[in-house]
């Protein structure tokens, strides 16, 4: 019997972890002073520090001036302990939604007396949001919870956890927490699913109201669209100046326009991909 005991230990550990999740407790430590950004991980619950954030300076994000200013002002108010809104950044792929969130965090954090933390939560972990809130509620830091590429499919019920956290729960959102999300969909569920539920439901309007109302929990809806050619070339010029790429800009502009034509779009992502290609051809590194 004594020889079988070690084999039981892994099972007991898994049972302990499961019980911790059910009761909202975790043996993991949550030290928010370890970094300015973290990734929320589950099984077991923990905050993994990110010491080098993959982001660009705010002044390199071109063609999104209006949404940049709105999100920056909202974030400054939040960092200073004033009322601020949750934000949904929606629209075209590669238009700079997630880049803006990370850049605004860096810009506001550097100019604020209080520490502003950025915590990324993966889409598949949205159901664990209530546990994350319990961790953050007693913290002295202001925390932005960030979910990139958020959307929900037809049978996905984890959106209920997000709704409760944003406004509807009995505890409400902690004063030191705000939620920023990016999505390609304005209403977070595909239009064809909304239409399908309307057509098959006894009460069509109520069939989709619960899911559509999720977007209403975001006080800010910031739309992103494919940029025009002038803004696209302004991005190219800004990248070249920032990284010190030495090349004739007239020739570079012609190449950049051809590059965007082969991809069928002009966006911040396409501009960045072109710059990486240009730097490689020039034999230069992308270090500011």
Note down pLDDT in tens along the chain; length 288 residues: 445 455 676 666 666 555 554 544 443 467 898 899 999 999 899 999 999 998 989 999 988 999 999 999 999 999 999 999 999 999 888 888 999 999 999 999 887 667 899 999 998 898 898 899 999 999 999 999 999 988 776 666 666 777 777 765 666 788 999 999 998 766 665 554 444 444 444 445 554 555 556 677 788 999 998 889 999 999 999 999 999 999 999 999 999 999 999 988 899 999 999 999 999 999 999 875
Residue 254 sits at φ, ψ, to 5 deg, of -60, -45
d(CA 206, CA 208): 6
3 state DSSP class of 146: strand
d(CA 86, CA 64): 19
Q: Which positions ≥6 away from 200 have C-beta within 8 Å?
A: 207
Report DSSP letters for 36-60, one per residue: SEEEEETTTTEEEEESS-----GGG
Q: Is the peptide bond before 44 cis (omega within 30 degrees of 0)?
A: yes
Task: State the architecture of 32-224 in CATH terms.
Answer: 3-Layer(aba) Sandwich (3.40)
Task: Tell me whether residue 162 is exposed, middle or buried, using C-beta atoms within 10 angstroms of its C-beta: 0 to 12, 13 to 18, 19 or more.
Answer: buried
């Amino acid at each position: 019997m004594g020889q079988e005991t070690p084999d039981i230990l892994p099972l007991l550990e898994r049972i302990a972890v499961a019980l911790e999740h059910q009761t909202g407790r975790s043996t993991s430590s949550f030290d928010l002073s370890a970094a300015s950004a973290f990734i929320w991980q589950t099984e077991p619950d923990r905050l993994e520090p990110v010491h080098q954030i993959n982001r660009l300076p705010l002044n390199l994000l071109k063609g999104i001036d209006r949404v940049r200013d709105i999100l920056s002002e909202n974030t400054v108010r939040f960092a200073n302990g004033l009322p601020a809104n949750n934000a949904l950044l929606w629209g075209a792929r590669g238009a700079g939604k997630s880049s803006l969130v990370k850049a605004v965090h860096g810009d506001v954090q550097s100019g604020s007396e209080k520490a502003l933390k950025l915590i990324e939560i993966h889409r598949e972990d949205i159901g664990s949001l209530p546990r994350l809130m319990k961790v953050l509620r007693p913290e002295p830091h202001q925390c932005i919870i960030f979910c990139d590429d958020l959307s929900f499919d037809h049978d996905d019920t984890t959106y209920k956890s997000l709704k409760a956290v944003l406004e509807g729960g009995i505890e409400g959102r902690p004063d030191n927490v705000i939620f920023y999300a990016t999505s390609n969909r304005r209403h977070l569920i595909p239009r064809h699913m909304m239409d399908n539920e309307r057509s098959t439901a006894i009460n069509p309007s109520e069939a989709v109201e619960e899911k559509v109302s999720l977007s209403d929990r975001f006080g800010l809806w910031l739309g992103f669209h494919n940029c025009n050619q002038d803004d696209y070339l302004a991005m190219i010029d800004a990248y070249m100046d920032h990284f010190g790429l030495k090349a004739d800009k007239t020739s570079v502009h012609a190449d950049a326009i051809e590059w965007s034509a082969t991809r069928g779009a002009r966006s911040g992502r396409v501009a960045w991909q072109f710059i990486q290609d240009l730097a490689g051809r020039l034999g230069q590194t992308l270090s500011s």
